[in-house]
Amino acid sequence: MSMSSLEMGFTVEATSGKARATRFTTAHGEVETPLFMPVGTLGTVKAVGPDELRALGARIVLGNTYHLWQRPGLDVVAAHGGLHGFMRWDGPILTDSGGYQVFSLRALSTITDEGVAFRSHLDGAPLHLTPETSMAIQAQLGSDIAMAFDHVPPAGAPRALHEEALGRTTRWAARCKEAPRSTVNPGQLRFGIVQGGTHLDLRERHLGEIGALGFDGYALGGLAVGETPDEMYRVLDAVADRLPRDRPRYLMGVGTPRDIVTAIGAGIDLFDCVMPTRNARNGQLFTDEGRLAIANARFKTDAQPIDPACRCATCAGGFTRAYLAHLFRSGEILYHRLATVHNLHYYLDLVRRAREAIRADRYREFAGAFADVGC
């Protein structure tokens, strides 16, 4: 049976306006929020290993149901006792449901109430993903948090499609709740996902439907899919604090530092996004003063660290902007590691500072410092 909120040990430890600092327990350890989850799509957070993630302060990482199903395959992961053993990460893991891949491959897919038929991005093989399949894959992976399978429409989709998608997501969520529990990780939690696009009345309706199913946590999906930041912030302001107060709240696939600071202020607890790792590889480094484009000519002879105030291993280790610019221009692999370490540290330290501000009941002042920062 599902862990109840009491068994999760979920507590709200402090609030500051709508922002909250919470704590809950998973089968592989305790989670304090607000918290950012580095994305490890294929069982690895790109360019860094498990020990580095722990040193950076990561407490939970995200794996991808669809991609791990396709490569290396569930039999390979099972031979290692599940995803934790396969990737040598002993902390909590959240797995998405494959719903986003349905969104990204929608031009090649057919969606019905039964599930989604599409073709593998690897070899074109026909695939069929249903709520039961998604939950079975996540059960075999043995993640600590399994997401319910959902239908994600693109931004700008007609209202009728959003209505169709949220109704289907509710029906799929009920089937996910009925799917057999994981034997690899009997304490696996299940989170439901609220859809509705930027239509506030649809969001409210769907929140009532998904909330009534009694999940262990709740997520807002269908954001950061093409709408403007202001549209996303409007949804967050109206909906985030209406998610159940006695469960973790998760905003999927978001986002920039400003997005995260805004969402925490609206009442969100958990985040994931590829931005810190992807932007690092593409030459963008995050600081409180905005993003540095390391390929810029002005950094060619700059002997400062990325951020003189940063205590990550890259900045504190004496690696300069000039050195990173040289590595980036030269295509050296070391650049990816040093830049990724810095960006992940920035995101993880950002949510750590947010927790401190909430506990001191000064979150409004903390968030105000990001109002004019271009990140």
Mean pLDDT confidence for 234-252: 98
Mean pLDDT confidence for 217-238: 96
On the 0-12 / 13-18 / 19+ scale of CB atoms within 10 A, 304 is exposed
Write down the catalytic residue from 90, 96, 150, 288.
Answer: 96
Q: Is the pLDDT confidence value at 5 over 50? A: no
Nearest to 38 by CA among 280, 239, 245: 280
pLDDT band at 322 (very low <50, low <70, confident <90, very high): very high
Mean pLDDT confidence for 254-272: 97
Superfamily of domain 9-273, CATH level 4: Queuine tRNA-ribosyltransferase-like (3.20.20.105)
272 has catalytic annotation: yes
pLDDT band at 1 (very low <50, low <70, confident <90, very high): very low
Q: What is the pLDDT of residues 208-225, one digit of tens each?
A: 999 999 999 999 999 999
Find out whether 5 and 246 touch, Cβ atoms under 8 Å. Answer: yes
Nearest to 99 by CA among 188, 26, 27, 165: 165
Q: What is the pLDDT of residues 16-71, one digit of tens each?
A: 999 999 999 999 999 999 999 999 999 999 999 999 999 999 999 999 999 999 99
Q: Is the pLDDT confidence value at 372 over 70? A: no
For the sheet with 29-33, list strands across it. Answer: 11-16, 19-26, 29-33
pLDDT at 155: 85
Percent of the chain with pLDDT over 70: 96
Q: Is the pLDDT confidence value at 279 over 60? A: yes
pLDDT at 371: 72
Q: Is the pLDDT confidence value at 3 over 80? A: no
Percent of the chain with pLDDT over 90: 89
307 has catalytic annotation: no
pLDDT at 373: 64
Residue 142 backbone phi and psi in degrees, to 5: 75, 30
> Where do the structural domains in the chain lie, given as residue ranges?
9-273, 282-368
Amino acid at 284: Q
Mean pLDDT confidence for 297-315: 98
pLDDT at 355: 98
Q: Is the pLDDT confidence value at 359 over 70? A: yes
Using alpha carbons, list the distances in angstroms from residue 12 to 165, 197, 210, 275: 32, 28, 22, 28
Quick one: how far is CA 193 from the chain centroid? 13
Q: Which of 70-79, 115-124, 356-365 has the lowest mean pLDDT?
A: 115-124
Mean pLDDT confidence for 234-244: 98
pLDDT at 121: 83
Q: What is the pLDDT of residues 92-140, one digit of tens each?
A: 999 999 887 777 767 768 899 999 998 888 888 899 999 999 999 999 9
Residues linked to residue 272 through DSSP beta bridges, in sequence order: 37, 254
Mean pLDDT confidence for 186-199: 97
Write down the catalytic residue from 259, 269, 272, 307.
Answer: 272
Q: Return mean pLDDT, the chain.
A: 94
pLDDT at 99: 82
Mean pLDDT confidence for 329-339: 98
